[in-house]
Structure formats: structure tokens, C-alpha cells
């Protein structure tokens, strides 16, 4: 439903205003640019200073492929895109530089697959808090997303 | 002839109904009993035999792991919380860190406390860790350090299960249906001893 609202407001002049309004309407865990929609944004975090994992869904309703190239957050010193995999009984994890999302495609960052790895906390965060994150794309587009800080037990 | 057939059939049926048939991978005949020398969350030297008396699940990982390790431990925690109080008292989870330079006893204590009182963090000298990983025929490997000195560790994805006498029972992987893993954990924890 939210995407329909936004399609109507496709005028560039309206975009900033509409984004603000949408942010208010939709609350956290959701962000939207003209053709990109993020939902279910969660940051899995444990007490202490161990790294967190970011999970979300990202849908591209535009007509161009977009390329996610990274993320940053004022709450962490560094954020990397990673993918976990299992091969011959071993759990592997490696960084990825970019991820293409084709027109009409919906990708999922989910446990034991793609995730954002949040390292070295700058702000103290715990379950129930919100964390501001900006997703970065190759066309310089930057998409702000508010992640809900959750326990891995909730996933 | 009939007698022979019957005997064969009976032994087949009995094997199928045996207490030792786990839904996940049975390792009773191929893995040695629980044994190691490691350091606990209080910095004390401990041995495998110290953990006899309860069903024991063992997972090898590291706390700098943001995704696979916390998710695996949380799912074990969910299964354990579903047990009734008495059964829950009969199970423990040993999280053996293969990354002792970052996973000090203090770090491990804070980490395992987040998953529940049944979770115990262990680590040790590299030679001690190698002894236990070799014993269970698993490997681990450190990745290259980045400019911040951070590095990733490739580690075993399996959870090993031992009975309260420390005898190897079954091994769970992500490829096993969650319902099978849960059923085996519940049965193991419910076994009398």
C-alpha cells in the first residue's frame, strides 16, 4: 500500500516532503526512495562489543538495475556487506563489494545468508533501541533506514 | 528358512526402534566421548569429565561472528526454553571458541549469558583447541586481518551432542529439518541417567 502512495507522489519537488511524511507514517524498520523500498530492517545485537548483523528486505520497483555498494551508520565505526555460506560442514563468511537488484527484484538479507556486519560500536545500543543506517548505491543514491535493534533470539 | 527370515526381520525392526536411532546424524560409533582440557569463563582449567551428568551440546565458533554463531546458539536456546523445567536442568551447551586471542573468559561470559544459563563458554591455548578440534575431526581457519586488525574465522557449522555419560550421540547441521533437531535434543535431555 505504501508504494502506491509513493507512486502518486512521483514529482521531484514533492519527494523530500513525501519522504519525511512517509517516515512519520511508516515508523521504523521501513524506508523508501522513489523506486526502492526497504522493509523489516533489524539489527541483531548482543551485549558487549561483539559485531551486529543487519537484516532487511529491499525491493526495486524501478526500471533500472540498482547496485547496493555498502552502508554506514553513525552508531558503528564500520559496516560491511557479508554473506555467510556453508560448505562441507564449515561455516564461511566473506565480504562482498556490491549486489545488483534487478528491476522488479526483491532481495532479502537474512540469517545465515546476506547480512550487514556492524563493527565497533560508537553508541551504546541495546534491544529495543533504533539505529540509523544509510544504504549506499552505485548511482550515489543514499537511502536512510532506521533499524530496530533486536536480540538474535527474536530471529 | 522362515526362521532365518523372521530373525532377520526382527533384528531389522529392533534396530529401527533402538534407543540409538536419532533423526539427525548418529555419531555414536564414530566419534569419541567428550574429552578436552580448556579454560572456562572464570579462567579455570576444566576437563570434559567436569561436564558429565547432563546432556551436552557442543558448538565451535567465535564471538566476533555476527550472523551464524548467534543465530545457531539462539535457536538452541529456543529449543531449550521449550523444555519443561526438569528436562531443562539436564542439558547444557558448551560454546568452544576457536579464537582465544579475542575470546577471553570475560568476553565469553558476557556472550554466553545472553543466550541463557545453560550456555557455557570455553576456550584455551591454541594447542588445547587443536586437540579438541582434531578429536572431533573438524577444522577452523583464520582470515586475513583488515586495517583495523579485525579478521573472520571459518569454523565448523555442526552441533555435536553427547549424553550425560559423555558418549557421542548425534550431530546436527543446518541441512537437518529444525523439527528433527528439536526432537533429538528433547529426547537426549529427557533420557534418564
State pTM to two decimals: 0.85
CB A133, CB A30: distance < 8 Å = no
Mean pLDDT over each residue of chain B, to the nearest integer = 91
Average pLDDT over residues B139-167: 96
Nearest residue of A to residue B68, measured between CA atoms: A112
Give A 89-118 residues with CB within 8 A of chain B.
Answer: 89-94, 111-112, 115, 117-118
pLDDT, one tens digit per residue, over A87-108 is: 989 999 999 999 999 999 999 9
Q: To the nearest whole number, what is the mean pLDDT of chain A?
A: 86
Q: Which of B67, B119, B159, B160 to mutate to test the interface with A (most CBs of A within 10 A)?
A: B67
A31, A68, A101 from A139: Cα distances, Å: 18, 9, 13
Minimal-distance CA residue of chain B relative to A153: B74
Instruction: Note the pLDDT of residue B20.
Output: 58
- Asked whether residue B3 carries a pLDDT value surpassing 80, the answer given is no
Domain ranges of chain A: 2-154
The mean pLDDT value for B173-181 works out to 94
Q: pLDDT grade, residue A8 (50/70/90)? A: very low
Q: Test B157 with A89 for CB contact under 8 angstroms.
A: yes
**Nearest Cα residue to A125 out of A154, A155, A153, A150:** A150
ipTM of the complex in this document: 0.86
- The three three-digit cell numbers of residue A92, written as one number: 564461511
CATH number of A2-154: 2.60.40.1890
- The pLDDT of residue B1: 45
CA–CA separation, B131 vs A3, rounded Å? 56
Q: Are A3 and A24 in contact (CB under 8 A)?
A: no
B69 is in an annotated binding site: yes
Confidence of residue A34 (pLDDT cuts 50, 70, 90): confident
| Closest A-chain CA to B62 | A50
Per-residue model confidence (pLDDT) at position A7? 45
Instruction: Residue window 50-69, chain B: list those with CB within 8 Å of chain A.
Output: 61, 63-69
| Structural domains of chain B ordered from first start | 20-190 (3.40.30.10)
**CB distance A90–B74 less than 8 Å?**
no
**B45-67 residue pLDDT tens:** 999 999 999 999 999 999 999 99
Amino acid at each position: 500500500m505504501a508504494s502506491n502512495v509513493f507512486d502518486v507522489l512521483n514529482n521531484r519537488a514533492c519527494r523530500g516532503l513525501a519522504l519525511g511524511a512517509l517516515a512519520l507514517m511508516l515508523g521504523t524498520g521501513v524506508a523508501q526512495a522513489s523506486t526502492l523500498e526497504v522493509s523489516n530492517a533489524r539489527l541483531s545485537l548482543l551485549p558487549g562489543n561483539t559485531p551486529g548483523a543487519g537484516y532487511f528486505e529491499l525491493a526495486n520497483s524501478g526500471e533500472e538495475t540498482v547496485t547496493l555498494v555498502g552502508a554506514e551508520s553513525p552508531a558503528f565505526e564500520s559496516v560491511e556487506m557479508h554473506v555467510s555460506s556453508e560448505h562441507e560442514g564449515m561455516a564461511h563468511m566473506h565480504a562482498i563489494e556490491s549486489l545488483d537488484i534487478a528491476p522488479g527484484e526483491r532481495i532479502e538479507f537474512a540469517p545465515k545468508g546476506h547480512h550487514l556486519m556492524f563493527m565497533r560500536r560508537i553508541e551504546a545500543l541495546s534491544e529495543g533501541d533504533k539505529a540509523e543506517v544509510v544504504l549506499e548505491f552505485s548511482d550515489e543514491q543514499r537511502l536512510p533506514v532506521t533499524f530496530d535493534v533486536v536480540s538474535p533470539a527474536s530471529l | 528358512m522362515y526362521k532365518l527370515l523372521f530373525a532377520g526381520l526382527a533384528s531389522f525392526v529392533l534396530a529401527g526402534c533402538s534407543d540409538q536411532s536419532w533423526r539427525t546424524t548418529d555419531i555414536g560409533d564414530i566419534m569419541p566421548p567428550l574429552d578436552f582440557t580448556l579454560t572456562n569463563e572464570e579462567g579455570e582449567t576444566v576437563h570434559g569429565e567436569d561436564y558429565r551428568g547432563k546432556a551436552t551440546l557442543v558448538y565451535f565458533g567465535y564471538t566476533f561472528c555476527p550472523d551464524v554463531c548467534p543465530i545457531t546458539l539462539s535457536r538452541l536456546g529456543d529449543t531449550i526454553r521449550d523444555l519443561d523445567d526438569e528436562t531443562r536442568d539436564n542439558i547444557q551447551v558448551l560454546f568452544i571458541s576457536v579464537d582465544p586471542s579475542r575470546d577471553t573468559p570475560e568476553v565469553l561470559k558476557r556472550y554466553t549469558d545472553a543466550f541463557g544459563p545453560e550456555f557455557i563458554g570455553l576456550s584455551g591455548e591454541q594447542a588445547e583447541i587443536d586437540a579438541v578440534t582434531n578429536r572431533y575431526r573438524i577444522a577452523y581457519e583464520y582470515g586475513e586481518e583488515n586495517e583495523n586488525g579485525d579478521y573472520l574465522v571459518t569454523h565448523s557449522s555442526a552441533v555435536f551432542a553427547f549424553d550425560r555419560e559423555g558418549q557421542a550421540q548425534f550431530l546436527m547441521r543446518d541441512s537437518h529439518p529444525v523439527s528433527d533437531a528439536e526432537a533429538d535434543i528433547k529426547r537426549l535431555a529427557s533420557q534418564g541417567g
